């Protein structure tokens, strides 16, 4: 593997996830109102398209869980980068709903590559070079992507048609992946790392299913705001035209929060930090349910952005430390559960919004699911503590 600095490796990873998830995925959120006004996209179809995206994400997570070759992971990561650009271009070239479903599915595969393969390769590189196995900076790319899509959405919405806007997002994605492609280390001769902690076989078989259930619930809490936050804001008379501000706030809180959660986790322990993040994410949904004032919606977006990124970064980093010999595999198993929630929840909530005429019932359901996730998280903690394995980061 060619030697590069830690800073450059982190930059590669951040740019990769910003392109494949931060833009290729999150551009869809500000695009929903644009496509609704110009193509007649309904709430239910918007939800189904989001579900198709997460079906792709789910498929990618499942596929990655069976891959052990680092060289193959690196190649598929590069394929994911190209797919992020091509699917965004193609979204603006058609008004066919079946093709939209296919394109969002392929975009989901790209997102899985950026998050899981990118995160797994980064985790491998950090452990190999005796750095702390933390992914906070890596996941800041999600927030950066949200910020980019929010600013772009405001700049281009009045001057460009919906299909042209997709092309602009594709161009931004292309600019991001060029340095990633050029600087990515050569993993072709790299081997899996020797295990640096107790074997994962020491964990009871019930641990991963319970943790997956907790992460499934977190996926539902994340995806509803990720898909419908702008739509909900724009549906409120006093907030029309403010959707991009709400989305920008979510991104601005997300980007720095990922690193902050690493520090909180180091002080309180990963389980306590996860509980805090789960409860904050639930609170963000509750605020959105209880108030339609601009300040309340902004507060909801602020808490949402800061909390969901904490759940994702801490959860995946924790299992990466428990399974250091092949971190992509447990990360993929968790993301498989997260992806199921992301596939089901938007379709259900989108249907409920169209049926009832508002998002209130869908938000209530999401709150209940998040509370169930807190209970599952408590059970997973108890199982892990009884096993005697450590989830704390390794010191450099």
For residue range 25-53, what is the model confidence (pLDDT) as tens digits?
889 988 988 999 999 888 888 888 988 98
pLDDT at 349 (0 to 100): 83
pLDDT at 133 (0 to 100): 66
Is 393 a member of any domain?
Answer: no
Helices (H), 199-242: 207-235
As given in the structure block, the two tokens for residue 43 are 């709430």
Please answer whether residues 221 and 371 qualify as being in contact, where contact means their C-beta atoms are separated by less than 8 angstroms.
no
Is 394 a member of any domain?
Answer: no
The model's confidence at residue 311, banded by pLDDT at 50, 70 and 90, is very high
C-alpha to C-alpha distance for 327 and 335, rounded to whole angstroms: 12
**Is residue 79 predicted with pLDDT exceeding 50?**
yes
CATH number at residue 305: 1.20.1250.20
Stretch 93-112: mean pLDDT = 94
Give how far the C-alpha of residue 116 lies from the chain's centroid of Cα atoms, to the nearest Å: 10
Is 240 a member of any domain?
Answer: yes
Please answer whether residues 112 and 56 qualify as being in contact, where contact means their C-beta atoms are separated by less than 8 angstroms.
yes
pLDDT at 119 (0 to 100): 87
Is 195 a member of any domain?
Answer: no
C-alpha closest to that of 132 among 375, 392, 365, 329: 392
pLDDT at 99 (0 to 100): 96
pLDDT at 389 (0 to 100): 57
pLDDT at 67 (0 to 100): 86
C-alpha closest to that of 72 among 163, 236, 188: 188
C-alpha to C-alpha distance for 305 and 308, rounded to whole angstroms: 6
C-alpha to C-alpha distance for 119 and 103, rounded to whole angstroms: 23
Taking only the tens place, the pLDDT of each residue in 322-353 is: 777 677 678 888 888 887 887 788 888 888 88
Q: How many CB atoms lie within 10 A of CB 202?
A: 12
296 Rama sector, left if φ>0, alpha if ψ -120 to 50, beta otherwise: alpha
**Is residue 192 predicted with pLDDT exceeding 50?**
yes
**Is residue 300 predicted with pLDDT exceeding 50?**
yes
pLDDT at 202 (0 to 100): 64
Structural domain containing residue 27: 6-190+202-387
Taking only the tens place, the pLDDT of each residue in 376-396 is: 999 999 988 887 655 555 444
Stretch 114-127: mean pLDDT = 87
pTM above 0.75, yes or no: yes
Share the mean pLDDT of the chain. Answer: 85
pLDDT at 198 (0 to 100): 46
**Is residue 229 predicted with pLDDT exceeding 80?**
no
Share of the chain above pLDDT 90, in %: 37
The model's confidence at residue 167, banded by pLDDT at 50, 70 and 90, is very high
C-alpha to C-alpha distance for 146 and 27, rounded to whole angstroms: 8
Give how far the C-alpha of residue 6 lies from the chain's centroid of Cα atoms, to the nearest Å: 23
Helices (H), the chain: 6-17, 28-39, 43-64, 70-91, 97-112, 118-128, 136-156, 162-183, 207-235, 243-268, 270-290, 294-322, 328-356, 360-387
Is 396 a member of any domain?
Answer: no
Stretch 17-21: mean pLDDT = 94
Taking only the tens place, the pLDDT of each residue in 358-373 is: 788 888 999 999 999 9
Is 1 a member of any domain?
Answer: no
Taking only the tens place, the pLDDT of each residue in 202-213 is: 677 888 899 999
Stretch 177-198: mean pLDDT = 72
pLDDT at 76 (0 to 100): 95
Please answer whether residues 343 and 219 qualify as being in contact, where contact means their C-beta atoms are separated by less than 8 angstroms.
no
Close Cβ partners of 96 (under 8 Å, ≥ 6 residues apart):
none
Taking only the tens place, the pLDDT of each residue in 133-161 is: 667 788 888 889 888 998 998 899 889 99
pLDDT at 68 (0 to 100): 82
Stretch 247-256: mean pLDDT = 86
Residue, of 294 and 396, whose pLDDT is higher:
294
Is 196 a member of any domain?
Answer: no
Share of the chain above pLDDT 70, in %: 92
**Is residue 248 predicted with pLDDT exceeding 80?**
yes
User: Count of domains in the chain?
Assistant: 1
**Is residue 196 predicted with pLDDT exceeding 60?**
no
Is 392 a member of any domain?
Answer: no
Residue with tokens 């081997």: 191
**Is residue 177 predicted with pLDDT exceeding 60?**
yes
């Amino acid at each position: 593997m060619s030697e590069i600095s830690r800073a450059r490796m982190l930059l590669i990873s951040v740019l990769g996830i910003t392109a494949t998830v931060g833009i290729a995925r999150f551009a869809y959120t500000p695009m929903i109102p644009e496509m609704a006004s110009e193509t007649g996209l309904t709430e239910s179809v918007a939800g189904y398209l989001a579900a198709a995206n997460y079906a792709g994400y789910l498929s990618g997570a499942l596929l990655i869980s069976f891959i052990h070759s680092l060289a193959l992971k690196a190649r598929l990561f590069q394929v994911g980068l190209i797919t992020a650009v091509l699917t965004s271009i193609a979204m603006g070239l058609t008004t066919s709903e079946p093709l939209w479903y296919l394109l969002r599915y392929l975009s989901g595969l790209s997102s899985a590559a950026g998050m899981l393969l990118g995160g797994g390769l980064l985790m491998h590189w950090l452990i190999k070079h005796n750095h702390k196995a933390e992914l906070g900076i890596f996941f800041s790319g999600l927030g950066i992507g949200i910020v980019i899509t929010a600013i772009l959405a405001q700049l281009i919405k009045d001057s460009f048609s919906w299909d042209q806007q997709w092309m602009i997002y594709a161009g931004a994605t292309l600019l991001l992946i060029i340095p990633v492609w050029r600087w990515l280390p050569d993993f072709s001769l790299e081997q899996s790392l020797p295990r640096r902690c107790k074997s994962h076989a020491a964990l009871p078989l019930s641990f991963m299913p319970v943790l997956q259930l907790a992460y499934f619930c977190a996926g539902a809490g994340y995806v509803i705001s990720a898909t419908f936050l702008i739509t909900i804001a724009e549906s409120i008379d006093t907030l029309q035209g403010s959707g991009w501000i709400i989305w920008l706030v979510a991104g601005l809180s997300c980007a720095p929060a990922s690193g902050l959660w690493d520090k909180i986790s180091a002080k309180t322990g990963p389980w306590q930090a996860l509980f805090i993040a789960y409860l904050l994410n639930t609170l963000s949904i509750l605020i959105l349910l209880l108030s339609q004032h601009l300040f309340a919606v902004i507060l909801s977006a602020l808490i949402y952005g800061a909390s969901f990124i904490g759940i994702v970064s801490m959860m995946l980093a924790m299992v990466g430390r428990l399974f250091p010999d092949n971190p992509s595999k447990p990360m993929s198993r968790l993301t498989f559960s997260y992806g199921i929630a992301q596939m089901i929840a938007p379709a259900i909530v989108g249907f409920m919004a169209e049926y009832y005429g508002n998002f209130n019932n869908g938000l209530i359901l999401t709150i209940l699911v998040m509370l169930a996730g807190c209970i599952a998280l408590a059970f997973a903690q108890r199982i892990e503590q009884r096993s005697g394995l450590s989830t704390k980061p390794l010191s450099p």
